[in-house]
Structure 1
Amino acid sequence: MNDYFKLTDTVYDITEKYPEAKELLISHGFEQLKNDLMRKTMGKTISLETALKSRKINPELFGQKLAERIEQGRYAAGTGLSEMKKESGAEIRVEGVLPCPIRIPLLERLEGWLKENSELAARTDYDLKAASMGLDTAKERVLAAGGDAGKLSDLYLSAGFDLFFDRQLMGRYREAGVFEDISGLARLNPDFENERINLKDPLGQYTIIGVVPCVFMVNTAVLGDRPFPSGWEDLLSPEFENSISLPVRDLDMFNALTLHIRRFYGKDGVEKLGRNLLSGMHPAQMVKSGRQQQAPAVSITPYFFTQMLDAQSPLVPVWPKEGAIISPIFLLTKGSAREKVKPFVDFLFSKGVGELMALNGKFPSTNPLVDNGLRPDQHFLWLGWDYIHENDIGALIRETEHDFFAAAGREQL
């Protein structure tokens, strides 16, 4: 599975060798590992796989997440990126998570830019994690702010909806007019501002620098005599019951996917998708699953992972006819910090960063100077700002998750 550990290794051996494992296990409910004596005694008697199964945690998905965290830590140590984290009580604070496929090249570019702007770097603290590590820390800080906008970071960067729109989190500050789009762009890339879609926030609060498109892959070796699906509505058919894989642990993508299904196909559509769930595989596992006997007939995945297919794979990528569902990469800046953070916003909206996203990560950019390399038929499905502003997205996410997992007949993950 990876070059660091095996799922059959003991919890003690893995946590002894990799501190990241201890942290990740504790975050998944293994509180007893905080007691080092218990970790050394009980941990020697149980394998990682058995421990995870005891809490109904998918061992392979957890293993992938842990391997990514170890990899990132080693890369950071070798390059001096130090996980791209600096805590010194500086004047400016930048915070967020970055999509894993482009995190390292983007951090390298950011590190170079900070070196060129050393005075600004000295005045700035930052905490930029991989998306796989989640937003828990950022959420804790927002909750701890207790309604005081002065305690928030000056700039946030992340894909997904829950942190930025949940009224228990950023939503309360949005309604108070704390945030402002300071990109200065009159128009976005035509891929995202046309007769079908407009990602420019009409209230001038939120900025979207790019998107993570969600498409699907059809396994022709498993499909059988079922009609070849060409769009989202096809995947809600009873013919695909217990046949679809989607990344339920990639919360940004999962929430974006289920929110869009609810927006366009209603609660009934969410329940149909839940009934059709076969597994909650990581996208990289989906690509490898093509020749497995129990493989899903359809795997819903970020577009990036379709680029991993080889010519012999039975998996056929499909850009849905209704459009690829998108998880926007939001840039959220405090209006009161406009002058301080404008250089960072300009950097993130630069043509170079936009091209890195579009070309290296297959995450199309909203920068109007970037050619995203999309075909005319590769358009997008978008919730719409009216829908976002008229609903409590955080509450809607929780309700939609409940409906999905209830229909799937399993506990929420």
Structure 2
Amino acid sequence: MKRLEHLMQSWQQTDEASAPGKADLLLYAPCPVKLVVKERIEAIAAAQNPALTTHIPMGCTSVDPYDPLYMETDESRLPSVIASIGYGDFWRGEFVRRFVQTGIFESVQPRVLNPLYAEAGLVDPAGAYTIYGVTPYIFLIDHKKLDGLPAPRNWEDLTHPRYRGQVVMCGDGDDMADAVLLNQYKDYGEPGVTGLAANIKSFMHSSRMAKVCGSAAPDAGGIFIIPLFFAESTKLPGHVEVVWPEDGAAASPLYLLAKKSEKERLAPLLNFFANGFGDIGSAAWFVPMDGSRPSRLPHHARLKWVGWDFVENNDVNSLRDILALKFRRLQAGAACGS
């Protein structure tokens, strides 16, 4: 984990042109679509007069001068649009109280709302956050590894003791499938978290999951919790089944916060998120908010979102971190006892 002193030093050393607060857009995008999103955004920004400034980090290891942005206290130093993924810093309680709940951000809407968003309640009733896409977590099932066990069909199934040592969880370093843990906790309480942790065989990066599912790899199990993009981007063996959970794919948000005072000036950028993100072919697996295009998802697909009441009543960033730490400790204990 990055040390705060290192981050603050990096911030101070960053030149004035790219110092925090100077960008019209700060964007963190999912790796599979990051490059093409960056190209589209930069083309839109360059076409404006004057050109808009953007900060779109591409690497995963370098120190980002915007990392401590959540600690900012001056609204004028915030980028005009902040776009990110998951339940990171811009869901922190202090940031939410300081900026989100004070009304400086206003959401944007697509021309046609994706019906999955309406069903799951993804539109912020307070009108601050805009969820323009999601990372849906589904199941890949290796029937050979399950060896006659029934495939899980919903998230509660994954807590059943019959799947002990069968579940491979999306996780890399400190990162984990935050939407999975938060939904398990919200719907089933601590037993939902502990039951799943007891069944975990290994943690694995999403890209490797798709490669080893169905193989004889020693760390592969019979059930993989995997982002939809990776499940759909690899040719799978015949004995591997893609299962969309009956109660919905756990949805981790791709979202933005746009300053109300800047919405008119930045309308071309905001229109990309509201209506243009779905023009990217691979964005179909991130379920764009814009519902004007034919869906490539199965007809029974649903999304499982923690809900805005849960977000309002919990510091979801802190809760995510607590659950992730507890989950790894529980899994390590289960592995030692197996």
Query: Which interval holds the TM-score relative to the shorter structure?
Result: 0.7 to 0.9
Does structure 1 residue 151 correspond to structure 2 residue 77?
A: yes
Of 193, 198, 214, the match for 1:270:
193
1:171-206 CA deviation, whole Å, 9 max, x = no partner? Answer: 53212222211x255862222113xx2211111111
Fraction of identical pairs, as percent: 27
Cα 1:387/1:251, change in 2 over 3 Å: farther
Helix, strand or coil: the match of 2:300? coil
The aligned amino acid for 2:259 is K
- Compute the displacement of 1:135 (Å): 9.5
- Compute the displacement of 1:27 (Å): 5.3
Cα 1:296/1:135, change in 2 over 3 Å: farther
What does 1:226-265 align with in structure 2 at a 5 Å threshold?
A: 226-249=149-172, 254-265=177-188
**TM-score by structure 2 length?**
0.84
Corresponding residue pairs, total:
320
Q: Which residue of 2 aligns with 1:207?
A: 130
Cα 1:323/1:184, change in 2 over 3 Å: closer
Of 221, 228, 247, the match for 2:144:
221
Query: 2: CA distance between counterparts of 1:135 and 1:191?
Result: 36
Q: What are structure 2's unaligned runs of at least 5 residues?
A: 7-16, 334-338
Helix, strand or coil: the match of 1:98? coil
Q: What are structure 1's unaligned runs of at least 5 residues?
A: 1-25, 32-85
What does 1:65-84 align with in structure 2 at a 5 Å threshold?
A: none
Q: Which residue of 2 aligns with 1:99?
A: 30
Q: Which residue of 1 aligns with 2:224?
A: 299
1:214-244 CA deviation, whole Å, 9 max, x = no partner? Answer: 1011112211132221121111111122221
Of 278, 285, 307, the match for 2:208:
285
1:274-307 CA deviation, whole Å, 9 max, x = no partner? Answer: 1111111011111221312422111111001112
- Compute the displacement of 1:384 (Å): 1.0
Query: 2: CA distance between counterparts of 1:343 and 1:236?
Result: 45
In terms of fraction of residues, the more helix-rich structure is: 1
Query: 2: CA distance between counterparts of 1:201 and 1:134?
Result: 33
What does 1:85-96 align with in structure 2 at a 5 Å threshold?
A: 87=18, 92-96=23-27
Query: 2: CA distance between counterparts of 1:282 and 1:334?
Result: 35
Contact 2:142 2:221 in 1 (8 A): yes
More displaced 10-residue stretch of structure 1: 215-224 or 89-98: 89-98
Q: Which residue of 2 aligns with 1:177?
A: 103
Q: Which residue of 2 aligns with 1:353?
A: 277
Does structure 1 residue 139 correspond to structure 2 residue 95?
A: no
Q: Which residue of 2 aligns with 1:387?
A: 310
What does 1:305-324 align with in structure 2 at a 5 Å threshold?
A: 305-312=230-237, 314-324=239-249
Cα 1:365/1:116, change in 2 over 3 Å: same
Cα 1:108/1:323, change in 2 over 3 Å: same
The aligned amino acid for 1:101 is P
- Compute the displacement of 1:113 (Å): 2.5
Q: CA RMSD in A?
A: 2.8
Query: 2: CA distance between counterparts of 1:135 and 1:342?
Result: 30
1:9-56 CA deviation, whole Å, 9 max, x = no partner? Answer: xxxxxxxxxxxxxxxxx959xx9xxxxxxxxxxxxxxxxxxxxxxxxx
Query: 2: CA distance between counterparts of 1:348 and 1:225?
Result: 44
Contact 2:176 2:324 in 1 (8 A): no
